[in-house]
Each structure stands twice: as C-alpha cells, then as structure tokens.
C-alpha cells in the first residue's frame, strides 16, 4: 500500500511558492506579467535588469509553476499561469501594507502630490465613467490595455499623451491609472495634463486591484 505523504511534504510544496516570490525583482516581474503576456526582452527592459538575470528569475517562477511560456520564432513569451497568481501578488502587497509601517510610509512618499489622488470610490468612479461624468484614461502601453482594462477607459499611453491632448475633453475631470500603487506613469500623466490646463487626478488601482475588488474589466 502506497504510503501517504506527510504534512511536512505538503508544507514543502507550499513553501516552493513562497521561495519563488522571495526576490523583489521576481515580484516585479509578476506584477508586469499581471498586465499581460510579455517577451523576455520586454520584461528585462521594463524591470531594468539584464536578460540573463531576467531569465534566471523567470526560471525560478516557472519551476514553481507560476508562469508559462509560449515560443514564437526565436522569441519566448511569458504569461502568468492563472489569474490567481496576480491575485496572490495583490494579497501579499495588502498584507505588507496592513502590517509594515515602513511599507505604508514609503508608499505614501511615492505619491508626489497627494492632492492628485481621486477621492471617488471604485463603485462611484465606475458609475460616473458610465454616465460620462469623468473621462478615464489608461496610460499603460497599448498591449497591456488590450489584455485588460477598466470599463469605459480610453487607451492613452504616456508616451503619446502630449501628442493626443486634442482627444481629451476639457469640460470633464480626467482620471488616469496605470499598473497599480507602485507605478508612477499616472503621476506623470496628471502633471502633464494639469500643466496643459486640464482637471486631472489619478487612482492607485490597476486592473488587478479592480479584479481583486470583484469589479469587472474589459478586453
């Protein structure tokens, strides 16, 4: 009769997930992949590390079955193995925010202008966007927008924003968002818009925070 696995054996496998996420850069790669499938080259550029180190981190995540790959010619594309992986990242960050004072202070300091934060709740923002009372823009790259975005959001990549100001309404508040609380693209977007005379604010949510709250996204 086959021997039953011990509790230690089970804990060991759960620990594999924790070990694979024990690197700050691996967490950053998970957050980037939560925005959609990306090549190794794109991940290396966005995370600011070289290709070899990126590949090593991705190998560790793949061994824990947190990411999957797809080959297209000479390029290898990575994606999260399931939406639960991105929600695990959100949950980890929420626990850090709840229990680590240092984390909360650092997160607060990242917001260069606290007055730029939108005061609307998620549900209120969704309702106002649906009714056309606010204009929501997604300032991430187009590929990330196409993978999933907030309802009623318009794709307005940060790199194109100044060239597309004419596409924005001047009679409504513009609300920008990007990848989540650690992402600064929405801060830069608000600065640009306010300097051009627009009424603008930002939310710290990204798509994954929206999903974690049980709210819909669009693709």
Whether the Cβ atoms of residue 137 and residue 189 lie closer than 8 Å to each other: yes
All structural domains of the chain, each given as residue ranges with its CATH number in brackets, are 7-86 (1.10.10.10), 113-212 (3.40.250.10)
Is 165 within 8 Å of 202 (Cβ atoms)?
Answer: no
Q: Which residues of 69-98 are buried (b: 16+ CB within 10 A; e: fewer)?
A: eeeeeeeebbbbeeeebbbbbbeebeeeee
3-class DSSP assignment, residue 43: helix
Whether residue 34 contacts residue 208, with contact meaning beta carbons closer than 8 Å, is answered with: yes
Tokens of 42: 């794109």
Q: What amino acid positions are annotated as catalytic residues?
A: 178
pTM: 0.89
CA distance 38 to 44: 10
pLDDT in tens, 184-217: 999 999 999 999 999 999 999 999 999 988 888 9
Residue 4 has pLDDT above 90, yes or no: no
Position 37 pLDDT exceeds 90: yes
Q: Is the pLDDT of residue 219 over 90?
A: no
CA angle 151, 156, 158 (to 5 degrees): 130
Task: State whether residue 162 is helix, strand or coil.
Answer: helix
């Amino acid at each position: 009769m086959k021997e039953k696995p011990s509790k230690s054996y089970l804990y060991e496998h759960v620990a594999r997930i924790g070990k694979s996420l024990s690197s700050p850069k691996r967490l950053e790669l998970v957050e980037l992949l939560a925005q959609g499938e990306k090549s190794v080259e794109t991940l290396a550029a966005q995370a600011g590390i070289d290709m070899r180190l990126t590949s090593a981190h991705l190998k560790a995540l793949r061994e824990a079955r947190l990411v999957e790959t797809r080959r297209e010619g000479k390029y290898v594309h990575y994606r999260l193995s399931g939406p639960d992986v991105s929600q695990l990242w959100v949950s980890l960050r929420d626990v850090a925010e709840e229990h680590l004072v240092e984390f909360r202070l650092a997160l607060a300091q990242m917001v260069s202008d606290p007055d730029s934060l939108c005061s609307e709740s998620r549900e209120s923002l969704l309702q106002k966007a649906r009714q056309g009372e606010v204009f929501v823009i997604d300032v991430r790259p187009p590929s990330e927008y196409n993978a999933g975005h907030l309802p009623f959001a318009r794709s307005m990549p940060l790199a194109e924003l100044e060239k597309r100001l004419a596409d924005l309404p001047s009679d409504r508040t513009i609300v920008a968002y990007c990848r989540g609380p650690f992402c600064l693209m929405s801060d830069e977007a608000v600065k640009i818009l306010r300097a051009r005379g627009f009424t603008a604010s930002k939310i710290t949510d990204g798509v994954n925070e929206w999903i974690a709250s049980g709210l819909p996204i669009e693709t």
